[in-house]
């Protein structure tokens, strides 16, 4: 096992204002980690640092060997090849099919061979259980199906880690449970760690993992007695 995220004494700024300070976290390549906290506490800001949209203002840090204090715009596509991202609002391109959504992402991250790209699209859609929707438009999909496409998109480049920002926030409870089980299963299948921001404590209780609480401008470890390991509880098939 090795660390995919390592931050020491980090400070995160947005518009010149300190959002988080004294951030020191290490996350290993087999971990399922929740970021919990109130809306506006800084969960999303921390995720933005991890996928390159914000830089660490102070301290040191890296994610899959990328230095978070020296992240340049040109480095972001390279980072995104090793980091999968799942958003609350899916962020699918509404003017093109599921296949073309996935092809667009692969093209932007350096893929060239159309046959290999199409094969990978089929592979990840099969993994999330909606290969039959490959030629559908996003507006023809349910919220749960759109989030499955979003997860498939995150898996395209075989990431070392998946960052999920409130991935069940726009879904009903039954669909939310399906998406949680799917995230855990595909992470195990693809050997990727998960860092998931959420304010839904029912999900944390139902699918326990390591917990980091974001409050008072800091990130704090939450000790839990529950030793349930979600990675051993589901399979992707």
CATH number, position 104: 3.40.50.300
Taking the C-alpha atoms of residue 216 and residue 37, their distance in angstroms, rounded to an integer, is 10
In a domain, 33, yes or no: yes
Domain total for the chain?
A: 1
In a domain, 124, yes or no: yes
Range of the structural domain that residue 167 is part of? 3-232
pLDDT at residue 224 in the model: 60
Q: Are 188 and 111 in contact (CB under 8 A)?
A: no
Taking the C-alpha atoms of residue 132 and residue 109, their distance in angstroms, rounded to an integer, is 25
pLDDT at residue 23 in the model: 95
In a domain, 237, yes or no: no
Whether the pLDDT of residue 208 is over 90: the answer is no
Higher pLDDT, 120 or 201: 120
Confidence class for position 230, pLDDT limits 50, 70, 90: very low
In a domain, 218, yes or no: yes
User: Average pLDDT of 122-148?
Assistant: 93
């Amino acid at each position: 096992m090795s660390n995919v995220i390592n931050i020491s004494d980090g400070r995160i700024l947005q518009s010149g204002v300190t959002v988080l300070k004294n951030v020191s976290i290490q996350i290993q390549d087999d971990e399922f980690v929740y970021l919990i906290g109130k809306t506006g506490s800084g969960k999303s800001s921390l995720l933005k640092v991890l996928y390159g949209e914000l830089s660490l203002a102070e301290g040191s840090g890296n994610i899959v060997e990328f230095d978070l204090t020296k992240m340049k715009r040109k480095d972001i596509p390279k980072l995104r090849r090793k980091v999968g991202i799942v958003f609350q609002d899916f962020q699918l391109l509404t003017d093109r099919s599921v296949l073309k959504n996935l092809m667009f992402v692969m093209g932007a991250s350096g893929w060239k061979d159309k046959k290999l790209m199409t094969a990978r699209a089929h592979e990840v859609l099969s993994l999330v259980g909606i290969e039959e929707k490959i030629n559908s438009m996003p507006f023809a999909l349910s919220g749960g199906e759109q989030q499955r496409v979003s997860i498939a998109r995150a898996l395209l480049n075989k990431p070392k880690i998946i960052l999920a920002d409130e991935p069940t926030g726009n879904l009903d409870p039954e669909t939310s449970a399906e998406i949680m089980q799917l995230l855990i299963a595909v992470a195990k299948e693809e050997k990727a760690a998960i860092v998931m921001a959420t304010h839904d404590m029912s999900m944390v209780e139902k699918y326990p993992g390591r917990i980091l609480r974001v409050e008072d401008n800091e990130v704090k470890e939450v000790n839990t007695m529950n030793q349930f390991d979600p990675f051993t509880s589901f399979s992707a098939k």
